[in-house]
Every structure is written in C-alpha cells, then in structure tokens.
C-alpha cells in the first residue's frame, strides 16, 4: 500500500477542486488529501458537518455514504461515523493507534471529540508524541460516550491533519479486566491500571502485631516468595539511588509498605497478565497509576511497588506517583516547587533502576510551573495527562462566540457544584464567583482566567455533556454547533493554550 499526501501537489489539488465543484458549498481540509493507488480521499465541511470524500465510489465499497456524481467520476460522501472510521483504519495504517514507548508523550483528552486537529498541530515539532484518544471509564460514563467514539474522533483527526507520525490511545484508570476488554476492542494500545481500590491507607495506626498479621495474609503464592524471604531481601538490600539517596526502610516501614501496597502489586500483575494472555497479539503498553491516594507516594513506596513488579516480570512504560503538593484540577500546581524538583529527580532515579519507565503526571492540565521544573531537569522521559483543559478552552471560545449559551452553562455549573465536586481534588469557593446574570458579555471570558470558576466549570462537565439532566439536555448539541460554526476561533484558543503547555519543556 502506498500512502502519499499531496497537499502541495497542484494536480491533485485541482482534481479535488473539480470534485468539490459537484459537492456544493463546502470547505476543504487541504492536509486531509490522501492518494492511495488511484483512489482519492479527503475531508470537507459542509455547513457545520464534516464528511470524508472517497473517489471513485465503485472501488471503495468498504465505505458507506451518499453517491455523488462528480464529472465523469462517482464520489462517495461519507459521514464521520464508526463504520467509516473502521474502513479508514483498515485502509490507512496511520489512522490506528500505535505504541508510544518510553518517549516523551502528551495526553490530549478530548471530552467533546473535536479538539484533535488542534492538538496535533500543537504537538508538531515539539518532540512529544500525542496520546489522542485518552479517556477513563469514569469520563466515558460522565460524557455518555463510548470507547469507539473517542477512538474514531482520533482517527478522523489524524486523517484531517495528514498526521502520519503515530498516535497513542490511553484507556485511563482501568480497574477491572472488563474495563480492559472495552478498550482492547476499540483499539487502544496504552492501558493505565488503577489499583486504588487495593490501597490500604490507614497503615500508620496499626500495631506491629497487626502489621505482621496483615502481611501474613497477603497472597504470597502470587508474590512468588515467602514473607521471610521478602523481608530479608529488602531489609538487607542496601540500595543507593544514582542521586545518592539510600533506600533503607525499617522493618516497620517495610511492613507498612506491604500492607498498603501488597494487593496493589498483585492486582497490577493480574491485570498485566490478563492483557498479555487474553490478547497476545494486541499491541499494549502499561501505565500504573497510584496518583489517587490520600498521601504523596514516598520514595520507598515507589521503590517497593516498582521493584516487586519488576521482579514479577511486569513491564511498565510509565508510572504515575502521587507527587507532593496539590495537583488540583484545571489550575496550576500549589506547593513547594523545590521539594517537587528534588523528589521528581529521586522518583526518576527509581524508574531508571527498573526499566527506565516514564513518570506520568496525572491531573496534568495547567501545571505550568511544574512543566518548567521538569523541562529544566532535562532528565528521563515524561508523560503528561490533560483532559479538562481542552473542554475549558471550548468554553472560552463559547464565551466569545455565544455569550448567551455560555452564561447558561456557567449558571448551571454553579448550581451543580456541590454535587459534582464530590470525586475531585479541588478548592473552588462559590462565594468568590460572580453571578453570570450580572456579568456583561465582554467580561464573560474572564471566568476562564479565574481559578474558582475554572474548577466549577471543570467538575460539571459530565452534567453539562451527558444530556441526562433535563435543564442541560440541549447543552452539548448547542455547544458543538457553536464550536463548529466558529472552528477557527476555537482552534486558535487551543493552539495558544497548548503552546503554554508544551513550550516550558523545550
Ligand atoms: Zn489519574
């Protein structure tokens, strides 16, 4: 199969323009023009709806669409639906998710499914690889989307942009084998295992006797060692990180670590083995996320989990510790940056001992000061996960192009706040937010620069987008329409915003 892009080839562009003369009034996405043997593919937008055009129709029966006579040719005008996304992935390898490996990567969660093209443009030339389809089970449920829809949006985005350098797809915060099944079926390649249900937080209250009893109770056959062997091995290991830091737990610390993380280790191993044994031919890379614990991950805890997984043959591509300080949703880091920097270096040194996996920054949106620190270290590879911040840029565009709808969504999000904030780490204070009814149109975009309002909007995304609440039932459709009508404005905001996310690493 030969894939050539002829965005600048005048002959092909004029062929495309000839076909477009028969399609009615529409906009061409020049980078989407692909020639494969004698077949021609490109994307257009008619009104607010995008289509994939396939020519000639008779050679391409895998695609479904309306037949349109275009001079002496018959073209297919295909909706951007799941079956056409599947046909596109069968035809063009670059429309499928690939493994990203231990390279710098950026997760561009896209809860609306329309930010991909701008994400790709912003990542070009930065050295980061894009993870385009990145969605947790929680987000899928809250937005009422499927894993397929998210993947299809990614495939159409790389096609529209003519992006052939490979993108990853991250099934985020997967808790059960059934979660893995959903993501494998939809073609995801990165699997973020979330063992938070197995973390035992209250270990410091346990007596020595209780600690021993809890450790005795661990599934030692899965840990492939006895308790005595493990204690002996780790207490006598005298590990020194390349930074000079010595891993020297007391027996009590080791027992606490095993109570807290013992089942995290065995659950992660089970999930990893489930993927490799159930889907031996499916490309997969693993992230382990322990970011949603109550306390920051200590260096010893990181060491313990990583060394045990390594010993048990589980290969990680990335690991997300819970770092020090506060990684609240939608706003910059709060905490001691010097402490973050020194701990980050130590965490990285641990990662290097066990395969050199990437450190992954969850709740990575808008952590500009943290990016700068990581960029300045210029050590190891990093993965940054963002999601809500693209939704907020969509709302910023809306505040400019459709003030009336923005005002409704802002008021609604304020009303939802006390319910919607429940599962999030945030500190917004409703009393600090002005009533949208009394704010002029010109001042509405200021909400997106206010940390309180940002978090209120951030946590309400599910209520706004899912369509399950009567008051909000038309919000998503109206929001999507406004964004399609103002595509360039929206993309401009996204590009400017991700420039701020990516340039501190340069
Ligand atoms: Zn996370």
Q: How is 103-129 classified by DSSP, letter by letter?
A: S-EEEE--SSS--HHHHHHHHTTSSPE
Smallest CA-to-CA distance from 403 within 457, 456, 447, 451 is with: 447
Q: How many residues does the chain have?
A: 506
Kindly list the distances between the CA atom of residue 438 and the CA atoms of 392, 434, 441, 451, in Å, as whole numbers in the listed order. Answer: 21, 8, 10, 19
Is 267 part of any domain?
A: no
Ligand 1 centroid – CA 381 distance (Å): 18
* pLDDT at res. 344: 97
Apex 115 CA angle, 284 and 368, nearest 5: 85
Is 454 part of any domain?
A: yes
**Averages of pLDDT over each 10 residues, the chain, 506 residues:** 52 89 92 94 97 96 96 95 98 98 97 97 97 95 95 98 97 97 98 96 94 98 97 95 96 97 98 98 97 90 98 98 95 97 97 97 96 94 96 98 98 97 92 97 98 97 95 97 98 98 95
Ligand 1 centroid – CA 360 distance (Å): 9
Is 248 part of any domain?
A: no
* pLDDT at res. 8: 57
Is 250 part of any domain?
A: no
Ligand 1 centroid – CA 330 distance (Å): 13
Beta-strand relationship, 49-55 and 39-46: antiparallel
Whether this prediction's pTM lies above 0.85 is answered by yes
CB atoms near residue 253 (< 10 Å): 17
Smallest CA-to-CA distance from 192 within 172, 167, 178 is with: 172
Could you say which of 91, 107, 132 is where a domain stops? 91
Catalytic position from the list 170, 172, 194, 343: 172
* pLDDT at res. 342: 96
Ligand 1 centroid – CA 292 distance (Å): 6
Active site residue 287: yes
User: On the CB side of 389, how many CA atoms lie within 13 Å of its CA?
Assistant: 29
Is 476 part of any domain?
A: yes
Range of the domain at 12: 4-91
Helix/strand/coil for 408 = helix
Ligand 1 centroid – CA 293 distance (Å): 10
Kindly list the distances between the CA atom of residue 40 and the CA atoms of 16, 165, 480, 500, in Å, as whole numbers in the listed order. Answer: 8, 21, 29, 37
Could you say which of 63, 91, 119 is where a domain stops? 91
Name the DSSP class of 226: -
**Helix crossing, 177-185 with 251-278: angle to 10°?**
40
Could you say which of 76, 91, 106 is where a domain stops? 91
Smallest CA-to-CA distance from 455 within 328, 355, 272 is with: 328
Ligand 1 centroid – CA 83 distance (Å): 31
Q: How far apart are CA 488 and CA 119, in angstroms?
A: 13
* pLDDT at res. 3: 43
Q: How many domains does the chain have?
A: 2
Catalytic position from the list 285, 287, 308, 420: 287
């Amino acid at each position: 199969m030969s894939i050539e892009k002829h965005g600048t080839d005048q002959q092909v562009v004029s062929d495309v323009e000839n076909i477009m003369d028969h399609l009615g009034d529409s906009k061409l996405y020049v980078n989407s023009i692909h020639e494969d043997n004698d077949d021609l593919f490109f994307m257009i937008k008619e009104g607010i709806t995008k289509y994939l055009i396939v020519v000639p129709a008779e050679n391409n029966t895998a695609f479904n669409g309306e037949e349109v006579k275009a001079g002496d040719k018959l073209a297919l005008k295909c909706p951007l639906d799941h079956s056409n996304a599947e046909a596109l992935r069968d035809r063009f390898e670059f429309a499928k998710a690939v493994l990203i490996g231990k390279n710098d990567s950026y997760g561009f969660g896209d809860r609306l499914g329309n930010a991909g093209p701008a994400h790709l443009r912003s990542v070009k030339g930065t050295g980061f690889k894009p993870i385009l389809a990145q969605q947790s089970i929680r987000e899928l449920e809250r937005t009422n989307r499927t894993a397929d829809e998210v993947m299809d949006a990614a495939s159409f985005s790389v096609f529209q942009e003519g992006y052939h350098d490979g993108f990853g797809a991250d099934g985020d915060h997967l808790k059960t084998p059934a979660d893995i099944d959903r993501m494998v079926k939809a073609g995801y390649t990165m699997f973020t295992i979330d063992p938070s249900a197995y973390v035992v937080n209250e270990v410091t209250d346990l007596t020595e006797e209780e600690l021993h009893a809890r450790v005795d109770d661990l599934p030692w056959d899965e840990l492939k060692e006895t308790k005595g062997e493990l204690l002996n091995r780790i207490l006598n290991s005298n590990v020194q990180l390349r930074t000079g830091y010595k891993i020297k737990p007391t027996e009590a610390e080791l027992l606490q670590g095993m109570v807290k993380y013992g089942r995290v280790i065995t659950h992660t191993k089970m999930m990893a083995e489930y993927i490799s044994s159930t889907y031996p031919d499916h490309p997969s890379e693993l992230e382990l996320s322990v970011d949603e614990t109550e306390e920051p991950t200590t260096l010893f805890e990181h060491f313990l989990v990583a060394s045990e997984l390594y010993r048990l043959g589980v290969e990680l591509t990335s690991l997300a510790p819970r770092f020090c300080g506060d990684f609240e949703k939608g706003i910059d880091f709060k905490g001691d940056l010097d402490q973050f920097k020194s701990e980050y270096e130590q965490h990285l040194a641990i990662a290097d001992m066990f395969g050199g996996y990437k450190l992954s920054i969850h709740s990575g949106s808008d952590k500009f000061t943290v990016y700068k620190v990581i960029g300045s270290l210029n050590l190891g590879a990093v993965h940054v996960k963002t999601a809500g911040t693209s939704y907020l840029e969509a709302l910023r565009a809306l505040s400019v192009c459709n003030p009336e709808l923005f005002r409704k969504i802002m008021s609604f999000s304020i009303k939802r706040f006390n319910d919607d904030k429940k599962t999030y780490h945030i500190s917004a204070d409703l009393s600090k937010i002005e009533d949208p009814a009394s704010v002029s149109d010109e001042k509405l975009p200021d909400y997106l620069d206010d940390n309180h309002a940002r978090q209120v909007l951030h946590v309400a995304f599910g209520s706004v987008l899912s369509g399950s609440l009567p008051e909000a039932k038309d919000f998503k459709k109206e929001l999507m329409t406004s964004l399609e009508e103002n595509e360039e404005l929206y993309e401009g905001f996204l590009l400017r915003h991700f420039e701020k996310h990516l340039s501190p690493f340069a």
